[in-house]
Amino acid sequence: MSIWYTEKHTPHAGITLEIRRTLFSGKSEFQQLDIVETEEYGRMMLLDGLVMCTERDEFVYHDMIVHPALFVHPDPKQVLVIGGGDGGTIREVVRHPEVELATLCEIDGLVVEKSVEYLPSLACAIDGSHPKVKLHIDDGLAYIRENRDSFDVILVDSTDPIGPAVGLFEKDFYQLVHGALKEDGIMVAQSESPFYHAEIQKNMYQALREVFPIVEMYQAFIPTYPSGLWSFAFASKKYHPVRDFDRERAANRAFRTRYYNEDLHLGAFMLPTFAKENIEQQ
C-alpha cells in the first residue's frame, strides 16, 4: 500500500509526497501537530495539515530567515525568534559568534517538545543544552510588549496568517516589534509566496512601511512551500540590507551553508518583476 500526503496550495493545485509512516499526531490547545516520515524529503512537520518544514529542504528557509539580517547588523548580540518552535532558526542564529543570547518565544510548547523528540537535526539548539539559548513558551505579542528596546534582531518565524499567527501580519504587531528592537534593530519575517499570495504581501508590506523606514523583500526557493517561491520581509531602523551588507564578514563565515552565500545575499533582493509589483507603493 502506498500512502500519499497532498497539500492543496490553492483549491486546484498542490504538492503530493509519499509517506512512510506517522511518527506523532496530536492536538495542542493551539493547533493540530503531525510529524511524518516521507520517502523523498525525510521527516516532515505539519501544523493544521500544512507543511512547516522537511528535513531535506529546511536548510533553505532557515539559512534565509537568519543569515541576511545577521550579516547586515554589525553586532547582533541579542536575537529574538518569535515562533520557530522546530528550532531550525535558533540553530542558525547561534552559529554567529557575535550572538550572546538567542531567545525563542514559541506559543505552542508541544511543537518544541515534539521537535526535540523527532526532529533533532533542527531542534539541536533548543533541547536545553545550549548555553546561549533561552526558551519561552509564551505568546510572542505578550513577550515583546514586556521587553522594550531589547533586541538587535527579531526574526518572525510564523505560520501563515491564519490560526494562531494571524496577529503577526498586522501593523499593531510590527509596532510592538519596532518597540522591542534597539535603535538600530532589524526585523525579518517570512512573507509568503509572491506567486500565490499577492494580496497578503501587499497588505503586509504596506503595514511594515508605516512602521519601519527601511523595508525590502527578498526571495528564496523552497520546494515544499506553495509555488516553490518564498519571500521574507527585511524591516530595519537603520541598516539597509544591500548597502550596509558586510560582504567580507559573510564571505569569511566560519560555518558551512548549503543555500546562503555572500553573492546570493545580494541576488536574493533582485526580485522578479511580478514580485516587485506586488509590493509597489501606491
The answer to the question of whether 158 is labelled as a binding residue is yes
| Active site annotation includes 34 | no
The answer to the question of whether 63 is labelled as a binding residue is no
Q: Which residue bears the cell 550579516?
A: 71
Q: Could you tell me which stretch among 15-23, 65-73, 95-103, 139-147 binds its own copies (CB under 8 A)?
A: 15-23
Q: Give residues 192-231 in contact with its own copies (rule: CB under 8 A).
A: 195, 219, 221-223, 227-229
Asked if 229 and 196 count as a contact pair (C-beta separation under 8 A), the reply is no
Q: In this structure, is the dihedral angle defined by the CA atoms of residues 122, 125, 128 and 129, taken in order, positive or negative?
A: positive
Residue of 129, 248, 254, 258 interacting with its own copies (CB under 8 A): 258
SS3 at position 141:
helix
271 belongs to the binding site for its own copies (CB under 8 A):
yes
Residue of 30, 41, 173, 212 interacting with its own copies (CB under 8 A): 41
Which residue, among 224, 190, 163, has the nearest Cα to 27 in the 3D structure? 163
Asked if 250 and 67 count as a contact pair (C-beta separation under 8 A), the reply is yes
Asked if 56 and 43 count as a contact pair (C-beta separation under 8 A), the reply is no
14, HSE (Cβ side, Cα atoms, 13 Å)? 14
Residue of 6, 129, 252, 281 interacting with its own copies (CB under 8 A): 6
Binding-site members for S-methyl-5'-thioadenosine are: 31, 106, 139-140, 164
Residues contributing to the site for its own copies (CB under 8 A): 6, 10-18, 38-41, 57, 60, 195, 219, 221-223, 227-229, 257-261, 263-264, 266-274, 276
Binding-site members are: 31, 62, 86, 106, 139-140, 157-160, 164
